[in-house]
Chains A and B, each alone.
Chain A
């Protein structure tokens, strides 16, 4: 009986070992497929799956097919940490994602302990790369850069009284604090600094309060659903103060929510949107995406996830290994000016993307996002 058990145990062990010697390269994608950022998450999935299919047609990686394992993080830190644990146990060699900074932060240590390379695509909070984590990278820029660009347009607009509004999320508060610090250093007159509660629909009370403070310009660092409502409701109140926003407002639904009239003239910071990606490679990619899904990509974060996938694939090919240390060494050491869809990609020692990425966009009368010179 004892011998039988031992045999069974040995057989199980053999099976487990056989399971580990993979015939595919597993790459994880952690994305908010449900929840409030689901539109970003769904696009992340589309981009990564399209690129994985393209790569597989070309023969995959190191002679093996790529298998993309998708886990939903729900845009929620708790769901995300469970998703990260699932991915870590499934033997992925690298993980792409995710979007929200707070969500990414909940998963960083899980991947780090499991020695899995993580490439976030939308998490811009500064501190994510200041922790000295070895395997963490991001294809998106950081909020201190965004803060600098934001403070610069406020200065250029020569606004006398400035109001800053955030939503208490890790990202929005971080960006608001960056801008506030820069403005304070320049002794600009900040008349309002407070947060709204996200996911509500009536912002008339905070708008009434804002209006009473009498700012010349309002900088809102939160996300597009709230931004759209703020624009719409301030016009309903008959208050035409100019609004400026951060990169989380870059979503075509902004105009639908606010209405064209209220959205016109609104300015925001963002990495270039997919239609403004000007390299030949990016244009071909947007066309391929449109062919497969029937519409062009609308979220830059989906494309940044795609870029994350491509640098990981490049690193695995270049390092001829799927070991986390080899991928990391390749990304920090050997990858220089990789032609990503969103521009040239190199990483510094912290895992941050090198180079300036932010642009200023303005919404025109037809609701289009126009790149400002």
Chain B
């Protein structure tokens, strides 16, 4: 029982990171029907930019830990958002009217470009974050949960909730949803679809960049290839929840994290990914559009 609960917390922490990245995939797909394969690399850029700013500005020493990290997070999110916008302009907008396959190839190319650019700048070694977060853990019954792990979970869920409210409750959010349903109709209603697409490419990468920073701060070790594994998992999470659907991405991410942790605990750790993908296949057999992917009219 104790092990089960411990594994659940393990799974939720990893799952919240998956979910945060999955949002970027799902929003872009919702509006453009495009899988942005470079999204995992934007996540990696978040981790590297975070490391650079953390080491060079040392904000946590000047402003205190909380304010320093908050400012750091805002800077990282802003920078990765700019990168996302540039990516959209350079790699996707010129191909908007082309066959969808061209855009997918362009996405793969952008991914390889971003990854190798990072390697050339930072070198191929693993990079390590300085230890700034407290390493203490909360003892809860027999459980030991590191505080940082709880913080990672809460921050992720908070950002997801904020995004959900933004898309559901604001005018701009309504425009995003409208563009996701029918771009031409949205254009006729006076919505600037190009700006909506740009906004999607700003929001998704900002969250992905924040996830990169969280991973760097918590696990400490980052590599220029890490976007591949996380991107793959997040993409799976997006499909599991129903691609194009924001709550679906959150649910899919958390579920994938928990399934992985439990699979690793009670079956075999080497079969962890196999179990996760078997669950995905089962879900897709019974619900081809994913867990929450049915209400087409609300797709974003």
Q: How far is the CA of A225 from the CA of B265 in the complex (A)?
A: 22
Count chain A residues whose beta carbon lies closer than 8 angstroms to a beta carbon of B: 35
Q: Which of A235, A236, A237 gathers most chain B CB within 10 Å?
A: A236
A237 engages B124 (CB within 8 Å):
no
Kindly report which residue of chain A lies nearest to residue B139, judged by CB atoms. Answer: A238
Does B89 make an interface contact (CB < 8 A)? no
A205 engages B119 (CB within 8 Å):
no
Binds A, one of B50-58, B77-85, B187-195, B218-226: B218-226
Cβ contacts A205-223/B at 8 Å (1 or 0 each):
1101100100000000000
**Known pairs A201-B219, A208-B265, A209-B3; A34 contacts B124 (CB<8 A):** yes
Q: How far is the CA of A37 from the CA of B30 in the complex (A)?
A: 37
Does A189 make an interface contact (CB < 8 A)? no
Kindly report which residue of chain A lies nearest to residue B125, judged by CB atoms. Answer: A39
Identify whether the interface residues of B are mostly helix, strand, loop, or mixed: helix
* A-B interface pairs (CB < 8 A), number: 100
B131 engages A237 (CB within 8 Å):
no
Q: How far is the CA of A200 from the CA of B223 in the complex (A)?
A: 10
Does B144 make an interface contact (CB < 8 A)? yes
Q: How far is the CA of A206 from the CA of B273 in the complex (A)?
A: 13
Residues in A neighbouring B146, C-beta threshold 8 A: 236-237
Does B238 make an interface contact (CB < 8 A)? no
A204 engages B226 (CB within 8 Å):
no
Residues in B neighbouring A42, C-beta threshold 8 A: 123-124
Kindly report which residue of chain B lies nearest to residue A212, judged by CB atoms. Answer: B3
Does A199 make an interface contact (CB < 8 A)? yes
Binds A, one of B7-15, B95-103, B242-250: B7-15
Q: How far is the CA of A206 from the CA of B124 in the complex (A)?
A: 27
Picked from B124, B137, B260, the residue with its CB within 8 Å of the CB of A39 is: B124
Q: How far is the CA of A279 from the CA of B270 in the complex (A)?
A: 43
Within the complex, the shortest CB–CB distance from B131 to chain A, in Å, comes to 6
Does B268 make an interface contact (CB < 8 A)? yes
CB contacts under 8 Å to B, within A13-58, are 33-36, 38-39, 41-42
Does B170 make an interface contact (CB < 8 A)? no
Within the complex, the shortest CB–CB distance from A199 to chain B, in Å, comes to 6
A209 engages B128 (CB within 8 Å):
no
A-B contact pairs, 16 of them (CB 8 A): A36-B225, A194-B269, A195-B268, A196-B270, A200-B229, A201-B215, A205-B11, A205-B265, A206-B269, A208-B3, A208-B7, A209-B265, A225-B126, A232-B219, A238-B144, A253-B125
Contacts A201-B226, A204-B14, A228-B221 aside, 9 further interface pairs with beta carbons under 8 A come to A39-B123, A42-B123, A202-B13, A208-B7, A209-B264, A225-B126, A236-B137, A253-B125, A257-B128
Closest 5 pairs between A and B when the two form their complex, measured CB to CB: A38-B124, A195-B270, A201-B219, A204-B10, A205-B261
B residues within 8 Å of A by Cβ? 3, 6-7, 10-11, 13-14, 116, 119, 123-126, 128, 131, 135, 137, 144, 146, 215, 219-221, 223, 225-226, 229, 260-261, 264-265, 268-270, 272-273
